[in-house]
Amino acid sequence: NAGVTQTPKFRILKIGQSMTLQCTQDMNHNYMYWYRQDPGMGLKLIYYSVGAGITDKGEVPNGYNVSRSTTEDFPLRLELAAPSQTSVYFCASSYTDEAFFGQGTRLTVV
Amino acid sequence: DQQVKQNSPSLSVQEGRISILNCDYTNSMFDYFLWYKKYPAEGPTFLISISSIKDKNEDGRFTVFLNKSAKHLSLHIVPSQPGDSAVYFCAAIRYRRNDYKLSFGAGTTVTVRA
């Protein structure tokens, strides 16, 4: 019953540091997504993938990178953390319409 | 450019009464709509959906209505229960184009009063 698992749950980064947010799903979904949620805002799509080896930009990709080497994993990389990247990050996966979300990673950049 | 809009940031309703959440969209290519529910410190969970070929879909206490000509949908919760207190997100996709990327509204926080 794992579904979509994200790690870590919380992280504080200093400006300029880098990190990788991990996401794995066990439902054999082809589609995977990374969203960020800022206070009072909906979820904004950062990057998505329609299958292993295929990724594409969403609405707000600047400052992020992704890879999809397997069906299960879809890590999100922040190379040079900036205060504007302080947010809650959600990974999701889907077969088609109904997406399943992880519990989120709360990231603070100071 | 926000293509899905939820103009009411919050809603307070008494337990047992009806909650009505509204959502508008601007992109006429959207043909499938979903509602997600989110509790604090958790990820969103799917609640109910509707295809553009329907105007109503019901699942227990939850009913979603779609008015395509007005580009408007609403979620009705009857009767409202304390456990319904959460943030509700409206979302849309372009199902027939196999484009399953969700476009979300900003969310409506529902508080059910005892």
B6-29 burial string, b = 16+ CB within 10 Å, else e? Answer: beeeebebeeeeebbbbbbbeeee
Residue A97 three-state SS: coil
Whether A99 and B100 lie within 8 Å, measured CB to CB: yes
Residue A52 three-state SS: coil
How many other CB atoms are there within 10 angstroms of residue B58's CB atom? 12
Q: What is the pLDDT of residue B2?
A: 85
Closest listed residue to residue A27, CA positions, set A73, A66, A86, A65: A73
Q: What is the pLDDT of residues A88-110, one digit of tens each?
A: 999 999 998 899 999 999 999 99
Q: What is the pLDDT of residue B8?
A: 95
CA gap B58, B62 in Å, rounded: 6
CA gap A103, A6 in Å, rounded: 7
Q: What is the pLDDT of residue A102?
A: 98
pLDDT of A30 higher than 90: yes
Whether A104 and B104 lie within 8 Å, measured CB to CB: no
Q: What is the pLDDT of residue A97?
A: 87
What distances in angstroms separate CA B35 from CA A32, B49, B57, B68, B100, one per listed residue? 19, 6, 12, 16, 14
Q: Mean pLDDT across the stretch A48-63?
A: 96
Nearest-by-CA chain A residue for B5: A42
Q: Mean pLDDT across the stretch A42-70?
A: 96
CA gap A51, B82 in Å, rounded: 40
Q: What is the pLDDT of residue B96?
A: 86
- For residue A102, list chain B residues with Cβ-Cβ distance below 8 A: 43
The secondary element (H helix, E strand) that includes residue B19 is: strand B19-25
Q: How many CB pairs under 8 A join A and B?
A: 57
| Rounded mean pLDDT for each run of 10 residues along chain B, 114 residues in total | 92 98 97 96 96 97 98 98 97 90 95 96
